[in-house]
Structure 1
Amino acid sequence: MKKAARMLLVLAGAAGAAQAQAQAAVRIYGIMDAAIVGERGGKEGAVTKVTSGAAAASRIGFKGSEDLGGGLSAFYTLEMGVKIDSGQVDATGTLFNRQALVGLKGGFGAVALGRQYTPWHNTLVQVIDPFNTGYAGTAKNLFPHFGSNIRTSNTVTWFSPRVRGLDVELAYSAGEQSDSSGKRQFGGAVGFVDGPLTLRLAYNSRNGDAASGFVRSRNTLLGAQYRLTSLTLHAGYGIDRGPDASPLGNPNNPYGGVAPTPSSDGREVLLGVAVPIGQGKLMASVMHKDDRTAFNQDGSSWGIGYLHALSKRTGLYASYAHIRNRNGAGFTVANNTEAGTGNTGYNLGIRHSF
């Protein structure tokens, strides 16, 4: 009896140690970002305000993993957006609007279910845009980076292992409407990495609802990145087709004249560079939007920014961008969190990660 009791104590201690080890894998992380943002050239006139998340959306998140043995592990992420300027949950009002997922990882890659980023978004932010879709110079100024192009709910994803430089990413999102095809979305990406060169081709397709006749919109994105000793070169080319393929960040006609119309057939191109300078990084890009519809509402933009590192976690930044709109186009200088109100904008801010 005493031997059995001692065995139970040993097993309980081992279980406690294993639980402690598993809990040690849980991580709380986040970004606190706030900036003075100035906007000019829109119908609101000259706007100056304090904004949360101009460079990178302010957030707090929880990540965890558990080793299940045999090369298999479970993982999860819960991430919510916060507004540093007001202390509120982000504008969506949903607690874990940014990410909420659980999955398994092993030799087959990683499979996850929940609210997740699209392969299209991952390509734009990780490969193409030197601003990582933040700051006034963000690729969001001309690339269709709003709504379900960024992240989707009810999503199943698979990330393959990288083999000989190649990897694959797939995503399927159920619309969860009475008609199974309504709001359904799927996409994928194929990537290749060879030393300093990264190439990635991404695709995103989504259906409308019954009111729109389930009309499909598609976005294709080709990105390239080349890392040199002293700088990193970025390039991207996008193709958009369909009624909801290129939603405007701010559709409220900020310039007058012909009302801005979302393009149902467009092309975008970006060339950019990131250069380490001193304790920070200089970022710059030029972009062009070619609207191939009868409205011909093209746009061209340029942006420049600098992030100065005070430490590994804290930095100060400044960014400026300008857009030239044609034929009544309504493109606005955005940042990571807001769509913007004018065709010229700047950010002066501080960000801290933990």
Structure 2
Amino acid sequence: MKKTIFALAALGAFAGAASAQTNVTIYGIADVGIQRIDTNTTEARWGLDSGIQSGSRLGFKGSESLGGGLAAIFTLENGFNIDNGALGQGGLLFGRQAWVGLSGGFGAVKFGRQLTPIFTALDSIDPFGTGLTGDASGIAIGGTTAAAPGFRPYGVRMNNTINYSAPAIGGFNAQIAYGLGEVAGSTSAASQLGASIGYANGPINAVFAYHDANNAAGTGDSRTAMLGATYDFRVVKAHAAFAVNRDELGATRTGNSRNAMLGVSAPIGAGTVIASYTRHDDRLGAGTADADYWGVGYTHNLSKRTNLYTSYSRLKNDAPAVPDVNWFNVGVRHKF
């Protein structure tokens, strides 16, 4: 018993010393709601779903001063499904983020699984914050009934990533990220490259982002260039984005499309009304994958950390053979 008490005391003393040197924050989001999904060819599906407005998560982030303005930084972020307790992101322990790096007057360099520059850029100008149905981060376009005309089928996170973020100067910010493919005999296969440059000052927030993802064989890639902006008129904020998408396999172009998004958000009392319209223009398949996607939503703050939300969206495909899709949800989100 005495040895156990001594060991616990020693561990507590060590933890106290470590916490005095390193600032560690534990944070998270618990988000769950009731959601209805239906198409014009299938019956409606009702479910209790996790992470509708924001992915449910548990995270740890911290920094340690190394002197001379240099600091060690890290983030470990686990994603989970609050409706059934399962791990998110395919069962990864820290599937949302897992990185360590250094920061200082030069900016920051981070190594590990990270959000891509193009997703961060889109999140900053999407009125739905890349959350809730109606947002601009849908997975694909056409052919799948659970898809929305978002900006690409990739671009949320990158593995094996080296990311450099420049220090903000005069409202300007920039970052570049490279994800190693780790394929023997090839430096291009399965690799990814992303970059963004933005300007945020007063009512203006503008950003340009680029992402290039090579396939696993190194024989083709998918590229997106996106320009977006918001302008805050105080009573209402305007949102807009435009993206050009190209897919190539060898010398053959397999994809060519455009996406355009217009949206608004307006504070009303303790809540915010949001709406957006996205148009997907297929330039390769003679318009067979064209689609319109619009959504409306409302969030209501119960406190600084807890809010209620609801949203409705509709995907209308131009091709008669591709089903149209409707989404509706209502839920609660708590940040801690």
TM-score, length basis structure 2: 0.87
Q: How far apart are the structure 2 equivalents of 1:169 and 1:43?
A: 44
1:281 equivalent to 2:275? Answer no
Q: How far apart are the structure 2 equivalents of 1:329 and 1:298?
A: 12
Q: How far apart are the structure 2 equivalents of 1:237 and 1:329?
A: 27
Q: Name 2:204's counterpart in structure 1.
A: 197
After superposition, the C-alpha distances for 1:16-46 in whole angstroms (9 at most, x for unaligned) are 97633234x1011010000100011155421
Q: Name 1:301's counterpart in structure 2.
A: 293
Query: Are residues 161 and 328 of structure 1, via their aligned partners in 2, closer, same or farther at CA, if it must alter by over 3 Å?
Result: farther
1:142 equivalent to 2:149? Answer yes
Q: Name 2:173's counterpart in structure 1.
A: 167
Q: Name 1:98's counterpart in structure 2.
A: 96
After superposition, the C-alpha distances for 1:207-243 in whole angstroms (9 at most, x for unaligned) are 1122xx5212110010101112222211000000005
Contact kept? 2:89, 2:96, Cα under 8 Å? no
Q: Name 2:335's counterpart in structure 1.
A: 353
Q: Name 2:247's counterpart in structure 1.
A: 242
Q: Which runs of 4+ in 1 moved over 3 A?
A: 15-20, 328-331
After superposition, the C-alpha distances for 1:61-99 in whole angstroms (9 at most, x for unaligned) are 000110111111111000011111101111501111110
Q: How far apart are the structure 2 equivalents of 1:76 and 1:230?
A: 38
Residue 323 of structure 1: how far off its partner (Å):
1.4
After superposition, the C-alpha distances for 1:155-179 in whole angstroms (9 at most, x for unaligned) are 0001111112222110000000112
Q: Name 1:222's counterpart in structure 2.
A: 227
What is the RMSD of the two structures over their aligned residues, measured on CA atoms? Answer: 2.1
Identity, % of aligned positions: 40
1:318 equivalent to 2:310? Answer yes
Query: Are residues 226 and 85 of structure 1, via their aligned partners in 2, closer, same or farther at CA, if it must alter by over 3 Å?
Result: same
1:81 equivalent to 2:79? Answer yes
List runs of 5+ in structure 1 lacking aligned partners: 1-14, 245-262, 332-341
Residue 181 of structure 1: how far off its partner (Å):
1.3
Contact kept? 1:131, 1:138, Cα under 8 Å? yes
Query: Are residues 216 and 91 of structure 1, via their aligned partners in 2, closer, same or farther at CA, if it must alter by over 3 Å?
Result: closer
Q: How far apart are the structure 2 equivalents of 1:349 and 1:53?
A: 10
Q: Name 2:20's counterpart in structure 1.
A: 21
Residue 190 of structure 1: how far off its partner (Å):
1.0
1:327 equivalent to 2:319? Answer yes
Contact kept? 1:183, 1:214, Cα under 8 Å? no
Structure with larger RCO (C-alpha < 8 A, sep 6+): 1
Q: Name 2:56's counterpart in structure 1.
A: 58
2:108 to 107, 110, 124: 110
After superposition, the C-alpha distances for 1:264-296 in whole angstroms (9 at most, x for unaligned) are 100001111111111111111111000111241
Contact kept? 1:299, 1:329, Cα under 8 Å? no
2:237 to 207, 210, 232: 232
Query: Are residues 328 and 239 of structure 1, via their aligned partners in 2, closer, same or farther at CA, if it must alter by over 3 Å?
Result: farther
- The structure whose residues are more often strand, as a share, is 2
Q: Name 2:122's counterpart in structure 1.
A: 124
Q: Name 1:184's counterpart in structure 2.
A: 191
Q: How far apart are the structure 2 equivalents of 1:17 and 1:322?
A: 53
Q: How far apart are the structure 2 equivalents of 1:224 and 1:347?
A: 27
TM-score, length basis structure 1: 0.83
Contact kept? 1:221, 1:238, Cα under 8 Å? yes
Q: How far apart are the structure 1 equivalents of 2:171 and 2:307?
A: 33
Q: How far apart are the structure 2 equivalents of 1:243 and 1:320?
A: 35
Query: Are residues 279 and 293 of structure 1, via their aligned partners in 2, closer, same or farther at CA, if it must alter by over 3 Å?
Result: same
Name the SS for the 1:54 alignment partner: coil
Contact kept? 2:176, 2:194, Cα under 8 Å? yes
Query: Are residues 325 and 16 of structure 1, via their aligned partners in 2, closer, same or farther at CA, if it must alter by over 3 Å?
Result: closer
Query: Are residues 264 and 16 of structure 1, via their aligned partners in 2, closer, same or farther at CA, if it must alter by over 3 Å?
Result: closer
Q: How far apart are the structure 1 equivalents of 2:51 and 2:167?
A: 32
Q: Name 1:7's counterpart in structure 2.
A: none
Name the SS for the 2:46 alignment partner: strand
Contact kept? 1:107, 1:161, Cα under 8 Å? yes
Contact kept? 2:277, 2:295, Cα under 8 Å? yes
